[in-house]
Amino acid sequence: MPRLSCRRALELKTELHETRAEVITPSDETFAERVHCLELSSKEAGAIVQATTTDEVSRVISYATKHRIPVVVHGGAYATGETSSTEGGIIISLARMAKVVVDPASRTLAAQGGARWEDIDRVAAASGLSIVEHAMHTSGDADIASREGYGWMDGRHGSVIDNLVSVKLVLADGRIVTASDEESPDLFWAVREAGHVFGLATELVFRAYPNKSHEGLGGQAKGQEVDLHDGDEWLRLQKLKRQYDPDGVFGRWEDSAPTTSGDIL
């Protein structure tokens, strides 16, 4: 994919000028400061977009797809390597999208993609609830939820992914969709197995439970993992990948292909 040129960066700023999103390029004085969490990566992005709404994220992704510019997400500042940066591409930062809302009646918690687990835990506790969370509190919910995170309550309630109720995603074509067991169930399955290559999650809804500290410590997670070295599962993921992100805007899986014999792609 091509790099984000200076002209394209200016176009992107124009595209977002009526929004609250901030576009930062390497020529801006604050650029190095904004990517301090990515210092382990050798890649230099063409721009960082500090988004504040899902609609802004949609605009950025639509622009990137139109011009074939690679995109990565910088969520809760958890990842510090190659997955949070891109050579000449666009980093979409969700740091300003960190709202957390609890619904005690349905025992669910909705968190934006930039929320950190320590903040989620505090909001849930204020309502007398807990959610299955990652043991590393400084990580972001979207970072871990798309990578089968494990935490203290696994023994009774399963992993973070097991307790994901729904996810709001921005797809490669800029569409905003909600995936759950009822809405777009195939996409919801794919998101739980390899979410970071299917779209950008701007909001996640989790099940919540009455607050009992570390009740699952030492237990076994109840969720069943999908074997991505199984040909049928891999084919299903590849089919959905081609459906939702045919141009590989959110990355590809060449380095993690199954080791089973035969050509299954």
CATH number of residue 108's parent domain: 3.30.465.10
| pLDDT of 144 strictly over 60 | no
**Whether residue 104 sits in one domain with residue 56:** no
- Tell me how far apart the terminal alpha carbons of the chain are, to the nearest angstrom: 22
Range name among 108-122, 179-193, 214-228 with the lowest pLDDT average = 214-228
**Whether residue 195 sits in one domain with residue 164:** yes
| pLDDT score for 159 | 79
| pLDDT score for 132 | 81
265 part of a folded domain? no
Helix (H/G/I), strand (E/B), else coil: 93? strand
**Whether residue 151 sits in one domain with residue 67:** no
Residue pair 167/58 in contact (Cβ under 8 Å)? The answer is no
| pLDDT score for 1 | 65
- DSSP 8-class letter at 254: G
249 part of a folded domain? no
User: What is the mean predicted confidence (pLDDT) over 46-62?
Assistant: 96
Give the type of residue at 59: R
Domain termination site, one of 181, 210, 239: 210
76 part of a folded domain? yes
262 part of a folded domain? no
Tokens of residue 48, six digits: 């960082």
| pLDDT of 16 strictly over 70 | yes
| pLDDT of 145 strictly over 50 | no
73 part of a folded domain? yes
82: domain CATH number? 3.30.43.10
Range name among 10-14, 48-52, 110-114, 260-264 with the lowest pLDDT average = 260-264
Domain termination site, one of 161, 182, 210: 210
**Whether residue 111 sits in one domain with residue 89:** no
Q: Which residues contact 255 (CB under 8 A, 6 or more apart)?
A: none
177 part of a folded domain? yes
| pLDDT score for 112 | 95
Domain termination site, one of 93, 116, 147: 93
**Whether residue 200 sits in one domain with residue 104:** yes
**Whether residue 18 sits in one domain with residue 36:** yes
Tokens of residue 113, six digits: 């993609």
User: Can you tell me the distance from the alpha carbon of 83 to that of 41, in angstroms, rounded to the nearest whole number?
Assistant: 9
Q: What is the pTM of this model?
A: 0.80
User: Can you tell me the distance from the alpha carbon of 35 to that of 62, in angstroms, rounded to the nearest whole number?
Assistant: 23
Range name among 79-83, 124-128, 143-147, 180-184 with the lowest pLDDT average = 143-147
16 part of a folded domain? yes
User: Can you tell me the distance from the alpha carbon of 243 to that of 230, in angstroms, rounded to the nearest whole number?
Assistant: 20
**Counted domains in the chain:** 2
**Whether residue 170 sits in one domain with residue 69:** no
Residue 167 or residue 118, greater confidence: 167
Helix (H/G/I), strand (E/B), else coil: 108? strand
**Whether residue 156 sits in one domain with residue 89:** no
Cβ neighbours around 222 below 10 Å, total: 13
Q: Which of 145-154, 165-174, 236-245 has the highest mean pLDDT?
A: 165-174
User: What is the mean predicted confidence (pLDDT) over 103-107?
Assistant: 94
164-170, strands of its sheet edge to edge: 100-103, 108-112, 200-207, 164-170, 176-180
Q: Which of 123-132, 140-149, 179-188 has the highest mean pLDDT?
A: 179-188
CA atoms within 13 A on the CB side of 239: 9
- Domain boundaries, position 187: 100-210
**Whether residue 117 sits in one domain with residue 88:** no
Give residue for tokens 């400061």.
Answer: 33
217 part of a folded domain? no
Beta bridge partners of 71: 90
